[in-house]
Amino acid sequence: MGNDGGSIPTRRELVREAAKAPSVTQVKEAQREQLEHYWTTCPLSHKPLLRPIVSDSVGNLYNKDSILKYLIGTEDDDISSKADCDEILQGRVKSLKDVVELKFDIDAESDATKEGGERWVCPVTTKQLGPAVKSVYIVPCGHVFAEEAVREMKGDTCLQCNEHYSEDNVIVILPTKEADKQRLMARGRKLAEQGLAHSLKKLSGSKKRKKHASGNPSAAEEPAALASKSKADSTDQVARTVPLGIKNASTALLTAKVLEEEQEREKRQKMARSKNLQSLFHNDNDKERPKIKDGDFMTRGFSIPANARR
């Protein structure tokens, strides 16, 4: 009818309505759905979270058996492929020291518990722990609380087991704020520099730095060094008297000591004999000894006392 062979539509005709940015309510709803998924599902096995449950250094939750299978390297259909697990964990879990087992307080009176499930609650506020409540746990004990309970108590001991902890060791579970994520990542780097894992246990293969790494001996090492040097000098002095031909060090040292003792004994014997010989002869310079009229026993004659003649 128009004999135009068709028409070319314009952009205005194709795009009836421009895309709108999601509202704040939509963003919060999507975030809540994502949190609910991670609160109920293990990201490694995609199965429901069931105790025992562990957490890594950034607050993610996993089934403990899934972590064990990943660490062992078992090819199992229960968990994702190793490449997928590596992408999820991002090198944060290399051993069981890099996770903490969480201890949830169970509401035994809830309908979910009666039906075979579990309802986790804060032991202080009795609020249900989940995507609607900001929750934290304490390292290394692993007890879980609502964040407001720990904040209001303002203590340094666990409200369940009275174990001491620092503010850095309060871990937010599945954090949504960027500040919380950055704090947890900075904590992980700090612990790695100290040779500690997320659970505050010593990393395997890490070595403590020596107190004096510059090479200067400490005050405690100096006396030991001097003593060893003195001992070495005395050993060298004794070794000079060892007869040639003895190759064994311990035998040579023992022989040197025996020879030294024999020489000392011979020296004492010579001095004793010299004194005995000197006592037989008269010495004019000796003022302490009584003077003998007729000389010594070699030149002195025998005289009869006067009162002996009758």
* Domains in the chain: boundaries: 26-193
Q: What is the pLDDT of residue 74?
A: 74
Give the architecture (CATH level 2) of 26-193: 2-Layer Sandwich (3.30)
E strands in 48-108: 53-55, 61-63, 100-101, 105-106
Neighbour-count burial for 164-181, b at 16+ CB within 10 Å, e otherwise: ebeeebbbbbbbeeeebe
Q: Which residues of the chain have pLDDT under 50?
A: 209-221, 223, 238-239, 241-242, 244, 292
Q: What is the pLDDT of residue 252?
A: 67
Q: What is the pLDDT of residue 221?
A: 47
Residue 195 and residue 206 in contact, taking contact as beta carbons nearer than 8 Å: yes
Q: What is the pLDDT of residue 298?
A: 52
